[in-house]
Amino acid sequence: MASYKISPQNAFKRNFLEVLWVATARYILFRAINAFIVLFIVMLISSILFNAQMEQQKYAEIRETVAAMMRNPELVSGLNRTEIKQLEQQLTNELIEQYGLNKPYWIRVFYRVKDIMLLDLGHTQNPGLSQTGSTKVSDIIMEALPRTIILFTTGQIIIILIGLFLGLKAAQKAGSLIDRIVGFASMISYSLPMWWLGMIMILIFSYKLHWFPSSSLSALARGDLSTPLGALKAYATAITLPLITLVIVGFGGWAYITRNIVLATLQEDFVMAARAKGIPERKVIYGHVLRASSPPIVTMSIISLLNSLSGAMISEAVFTWPGMGRLYYIALQQGDVPVLLGLTFVTTFLYVFSMVLVDLIYGLLDPRVRVGVSSST
Amino acid sequence: MRLDELKTRIKLFMNEFRRYKIGIVGLVLLVIFSGIAIFAPLIAPYEDYKHWNDQTYWEELPPAVPPAWVNYFSKKKAAVQYEVENPPVEYVENAHIVTVEYDFNYDIPPKDILVKIQTQPLAKPAKITIEVTRPDGLTILIYSSYDLYYGGQMFKIFLGGDMSSRNLLIEFAKQYDTEENIASIEGREVTIDVIKILFSKAEPGILVGTAPPLKGKYIFKIKIPSLVYEEVEYLKVVFKGAVYGLLGTATLKRTAVGRDLFVGIVWGTRLALLIGLSVAVISTVVGVLYGVVSAYLGGWVDEVMQRIQEIVASIPLLPILLLLSFLFKPTVWHLVTLMVIFYWTGPVKTVRSMALQIKEQPYVEAARALGASNWRIIVRYVMPQIIPYMFASIALGVPSAILTEAGVSFLLGAETATEPTWGMILSDAYLAGATISGYWWWILTPGILLTLTGLTFVFIGYALDRILSPTLKK
Amino acid sequence: MLSLLEVKNLKTYFYTYRGVVKAVDDVSFELEKGEVLGLVGESGCGKSTTAYSIIKLVPPPGKIVDGHILLSNGDGTIDIVKLKDSEVRRKIRWKRISMIFQGAMNALNPVYTVGRQITEAIVEHSDMSKEEALERAKELLELVGLEPDMVKRYPHELSGGQKQRVFIAMALALNPDIVICDEPTTALDVVVQAQIINLLKRLQHELKMSMIFITHDLSVISAIADKVAVMYAGKIVERGSLKEVFSEPYHPYTQGLLKSVPKIKNPEKIIWIPGLPPDLINPPKGCRFHPRCSRAMDICREKEPPTVSIGKNRYVACWLYKEG
């Protein structure tokens, strides 16, 4: 599979760096372009689908604006009925032209996609979505996004730590109790709807035990956000239940993937060789084995992570955690198209570029990829 | 690898499968679920399911109550559903009095009392009254009709909600309660549970619901003018239980009416299995064929097909699904189609590398030398080796499909659905505040079933995977 | 005079769910200082397991169930079998006995540089700092004929032969008393094979290393070994100096092996040994070779032949021969 080997006879000092740079950069570039294509296609399709609705909205806006203008007495004084009608028509046409609604279909769609790709996400009718009252979709999403990231990232870090540890232990003691637990946990991971577990958690810990508030929003509202300690406490209370839910559902998958990959790695000769060298078992496992398994673990885990993203977003709705998931829920219930489009864009963007990130990380971890060993995936 | 060899392989495989207990568990569960799905019409009436969102259909059921068997486990017994049709009647001076006896030996009173009277059209409007004699000897008038009844349709009295009965009962309660309590409910009369008043001891606390229950025999007398009574075709009194059925009830949105969860759950099984299996099977088959063909044709066709697959695979499922579902308000089958469009990309890469490997094998070369066509080679040599992987892949794809549908349904809500899936039932639950009101039966059942169905296929897939990936066997 | 290494009645069994595999069943041999012992036999006869047993690296479900592995230590000996695992790891492995694996392709960790893998062994067993160890690693690479700059390389950048040289360098890092070579050339092509063998010969000569050389390839053995031990089905059937065993093989199996090697000088018909090696869970009763032996007698089918000495350091386990 090697595209070319560096023969040791080459002086590799300058060449090596060049080659490293070009090979990796080319690979990453390829994936990045792929990502852009996907993003573009997705937004194109979405824009086409929503075109009718958005334009209806625009037309309604125009009618309102014109009606408001027509109420201005100065404007209409001294005009008879026909002339008033003409004026109305004229104003309407001007606005239509201004908004570009009279251009051919494909140009209109193209402009919308262009706007979105340049991060102009438009406005929403609903002012209640943003804490600052802004109606700019980008503002609204930018408020929600960090919250989702906080919840999700914290959860993933915990999941990774637990999952790696358990997976390693399970691989070392294959067939033992811990191995079976990991296997079972992964099955639960795969079949348990995260958002349903969320509902159960609320039922138990909020309704029955009253340990936590049933909604993150209310936890944040009740808390004292002015002092750092108070804010910390409020956030901690708000985030605990969703976090626990995330971790319970998530760690099984990671643990199982780690376990499988590590098990395969353990069969490799170099593990036996390392032991023969007298390296202590702990260093063999956490050094050689883990390091050698990390590229496939990382890729598979990030893929599973992305898959769990959807479950996590729905869970946000259940916990009313004020992130993207919840925004989705509200937007869907209220039929807020600009927000939906914006959300689609941001989510797809995150999704697609995390995959590029995965490739980057893989390249960092696996020297075989770095030096262009695999030119095609 | 020839076809009869395949048959022996299958036999060997079945033996191997027996070794994995977990696979057997999965199979058993699969049989159970399939049984429920297939025999659904025998277990729960289809009429019930069809009318899931029909308020009138479900009017006799209490809203959001736990299953009946809860009574076995709690110290406080809840009133069970009690229905009397065409009860005994006697003639007393120009009126007919319908008598209904009700034994209240519970701690928790019924949720409501519903009286339904169906008559022919009447010449004159009728005035109906209801009186009840309690075990403590008190006789109360609990209903005196405001609505004049002209007959020809079903006349329904919901004693818990009817203005006339509410006022009568509240006035009754005020006689026995403290000044304090009376003052405390000022302005909040609509929140009072009047049925509870009816079944509570006549002492302080009765108005606010803290008085203990009055157990014993209650005698309800419904007085109907004789002229009207002649035209009565049907009369039913329903004491809506504080518990109901095998799985409890789920409230119909924005009403005080409940639906039998058992029906929804049983029939939901069909949809869950159908959705899961269709998506998994179709998408896997498409993906496998795509991979094999791509590997087989090779060259630039392969390249292009792979690029296409990569792009489609990179599209995140949920946002698109939500967007599309929002626009089209899809039926379940639209959802299935959409999911297939995304899921087919899954097996492609793996299958392609398997096919590439097989392509290089000497027996394939030999077959080609003997003049076998591409198609023949694919069918006879490549597919038999890929089919086991395909089955494992299908098995593991089902839970994902079921959960995705449930998730999407949950987010979108069940407004348009006449025949709900488990996800939609959960969506209703959330919107009805089941989590904060403690309606555990509404939340637990659909979710546990979702998980179990998922696990069924995961178990089977896990066993299949183990058998087919000997590298992981220790 | 004490041998450097003496293996006495070693038994290593694998406890699998299908039964107990008697991979090494009562094996004995000695290795003197500066000697090369060749351990020959078919695949699956237990050669590698014997090697792993010596450094107690037998993977589960294997276990050393009996016997002694005596390593001379100053004036006395250590019985490796009796050592705790941690002691084996610290005192024996790599420091006193190191190993070269078959197929260095996979014996080197692909994510660590070659240098790192060598220095790791050095640092683990000595007081050297990382920098000192790296210097030593460079020296070692030169010793085996590689560029010292290679310490920065990753295994996948090297050819098969280069990887094996790296491994040899690594095996010599701590100046061990014994180097076990487990089929070091089997996975290489013939030209590279010759290079590696020559390298090993040169190193053994220069450094006066003691080696146990495991292979199924008789020609390789003849190029490098001083002594030979022939293994079959978990037992040693014949032992002696290279010359003695190859010119005058006593055991029918050894004879069969030698006859099956094609000769360039006097081409004869190739005679091979009929049959397959036995199942080690249920080996044949009596002599394990008897089902394939053309000279099997009744006693061979009943009782296992003891190892008898028929000359100075010359041993055979066959009913055809008696002591002396």
The answer to whether the Cβ–Cβ distance between B455 and A311 falls below 8 Å is: no
Cβ contact, residue pair A311, B311, below 8 Å: no
Mention every residue, 6+ apart, whose C-beta is less than 8 A from residue B48. B57, B259, B260, B263
Size of interface A-B (CB pairs under 8 A): 142
Helix axes A290-319, B383-412, angle to 10 degrees: 30
In whole angstroms, what is the distance from residue B68 CA to residue B50 CA? 24
Question: What DSSP character marks residue B200?
Answer: B
Model confidence pLDDT, tens digit, residues B84-126:
888 888 887 777 888 888 888 888 888 888 888 887 777 777 7
Please give the single-letter amino acid code of residue A232. Answer: L
Question: Looking at this predicted complex, what is its ipTM?
Answer: 0.82
Residue B472 has pLDDT above 70, yes or no: no
Nearest CA in chain C to A9: C147
Packed helices A290-319 and A137-172: angle between N→C axes, nearest 10 degrees? 130
For residue C159, what are the contacts with CB-CB under 8 A and spacing of at least 6? Answer: C192
Q: Do A50 and B327 touch (CB under 8 A)?
A: yes
Mean per-residue pLDDT for A141-166?
87
Cβ pair C121:A279 closer than 8 A: yes
Banded pLDDT at B471 (limits 50, 70, 90):
very low
CB–CB of C93 and A272 under 8 A?
A: no
Alpha-carbon distance C167 to nearest alpha carbon in chain A (angstroms): 10
Nearest-CB residue to B435 (from A203, A314, A329): A203
Instruction: Give the single-character DSSP code of B70.
Output: G
| CB-CB contact of B83 with B237 (8 Å) | yes
Measure C259 CA to nearest chain A CA, in Å: 34
Please give the pLDDT value at position B50: 80
A with C: how many residue pairs have Cβ under 8 Å apart? 87
* Angle at the Cα of A98 from the Cα atoms of A97 and A100, rounded to 5 degrees: 65
A contacts of C98 (beta carbons < 8 Å)? 276-277
How many whole angstroms separate alpha carbon C261 and alpha carbon C264?
10
Task: Indicate the residue of C89, C111, C154 with minimum beta-carbon distance to A278.
Answer: C89
Question: Above 60 in pLDDT, residue A371?
Answer: no
How far is residue B459's CA from residue B29's CA, in Å, rounded to a whole number?
Answer: 10
Could you tell me which chain B residue has the CA closest to the CA of A174?
B474
> C56 touching A, CB under 8 A?
no
C 170-209: CB under 8 A from A: 170
**DSSP annotation string for B306-341:** HHHHHHHHHS-HHHHHHHHHHHH---HHHHHHHHHH
Query: Which pair of tokens denotes residue B416?
Result: 């348009």
Residue A6 has a pLDDT of: 45
> What phi, psi does C73 have (nearest 5°)?
-140, 100
Q: How confident is the model at residue A15 (pLDDT cuts 50, 70, 90)?
A: low
Cα angle B196, B199, B200 (rounded to 5 degrees) comes to 85
What letter would DSSP give residue C279? Answer: P
DSSP code per residue over A2-58: -S-PPPTTS-HHHHHHHHHHHHHHHHHHHHHHHHHHHHHHHHHHHHHHHHHHHHHHH
**For the packed helices B261-297 and B440-468, what is the interaxial angle rounded to 10 degrees?**
30
Reported residue count of chain A is 377
Per-residue model confidence as pLDDT tens digits over B267-287? 889 888 988 999 999 999 999
Spatial distance between the Cα atoms of A329 and A314, rounded to a whole number of angstroms = 8
Per-residue pLDDT tens over the stretch B228-251: 667 677 888 888 888 888 888 888
If DSSP codes are grouped into helix, strand and coil, which group holds residue B125?
coil
Residues 6+ apart with CB under 8 A from A219: A212, A213, A234, A237, A238
Exposed, middle or buried by CB within 10 Å (0-12, 13-18, 19+), for A175? exposed
By CB neighbour count within 10 A (0-12 exposed, 13-18 middle, 19+ buried), where does B135 fall?
A: middle
The pLDDT tens digits of the residues spanning B389-433 come to 888 889 888 998 998 888 888 887 755 567 788 888 888 888 888
Inter-chain touch A268–C106, beta carbons under 8 Å? yes
Mutation choice for C interface testing from A277, A284, A366 by most C CBs within 10 A: A277
Residues from chain B contacting residue A46 (CB–CB below 8 Å): 320, 323
Smallest Cβ–Cβ distance between A196 and the set B411, B426, B472 belongs to: B426
| Mean pLDDT within A77-103 | 76
Q: Which two tokens stand for residue B38?
A: 């297939």
- Is A314 within 8 Å of B324 when comparing Cβ atoms? no
pTM reported for the whole predicted model: 0.77
* DSSP 8-state class, residue B126: B
pLDDT in tens, B50-59: 888 788 888 8
Nearest to B395 by CA among B5, B10, B112, B26: B26
Alpha-carbon distance of A313 to A328, in angstroms, equals 8
Contact status, residue B99 vs residue B219, Cβ threshold 8 Å: yes
- Residue-averaged pLDDT of chain B: 83
Nearest to A206 among B436, B452, B453 (CB): B436
CB C10 within 8 A of CB C28: yes
- DSSP label at residue B397: H
pLDDT at residue B448, as a whole number: 92
**Beta-carbon contacts of residue A92 (< 8 Å; ≥ 6 apart):** A62, A63, A66
Q: Which residue among C59, C101, C124 sits closest to A278, beta carbon to beta carbon? A: C124
Q: Which residues pair with C40 in a beta bridge?
A: C215, C230
CB of B317 within 8 Å of a chain A CB? The answer is yes
Is B470 a residue whose pLDDT tops 60?
no
DSSP B410-446: HHH-SSS-SS--HHHHHHHHHHTTHHHHT-HHHHHHH
What residue of C is the nearest CA neighbor of A366?
C111
Bridge partners of B258? B251
φ and ψ at residue A296, rounded to 5 degrees: -65, -35
| Residues 75 through 114 of chain C touching chain A, CB cutoff 8 Å | 89-90, 92-95, 98-99, 101, 103, 106-112
Residues 291-350 in A contacting C (C-alpha not used; CB under 8 Å): 291-292, 294-295
> Residue A22's pLDDT is what?
64
Q: Name the stretches of chain C with pLDDT < 70.
A: 1-2, 104, 266-268, 324
pLDDT at A1 over 60: no
Measuring CA to CA, which residue among C90, A152, A193, A110 is closest to residue B426?
A193
Nearest to A196 among B400, B437, B450 (CB): B450
What local confidence, expressed as pLDDT, does residue B279 receive?
Answer: 93
Q: What are phi and psi of B418, to 5 degrees?
A: -95, -30
Q: How far apart are CA A121 and CA B148, in angstroms?
A: 59
Per-residue pLDDT, A24: 65
Question: Nearest CB to A42: which of B315, B430, B440?
Answer: B315
Chains with at least 3 CB pairs less than 8 angstroms from chain A: B, C
Q: What is the pLDDT of residue A372?
A: 40
Selection from A350, A324, A342, A354 nearest residue A117 by Cα: A342
In this predicted model, what pLDDT tens digit does every residue of B167-217 receive, in sequence order? 888 888 888 888 888 888 888 878 888 888 888 888 888 888 888 888 888
Q: How confident is the model at residue B449 (pLDDT cuts 50, 70, 90)?
A: very high
Q: Quick one: pLDDT at residue B161?
A: 82
**Closest to A258 (Cα-Cα) out of A143, A159, A137:** A159
**Dist. CA B320–CA B341, nearest whole Å:** 11
- Predicted confidence (pLDDT) at residue A128 exceeds the cutoff of 70: no
Max Cα-Cα span within chain A: 103
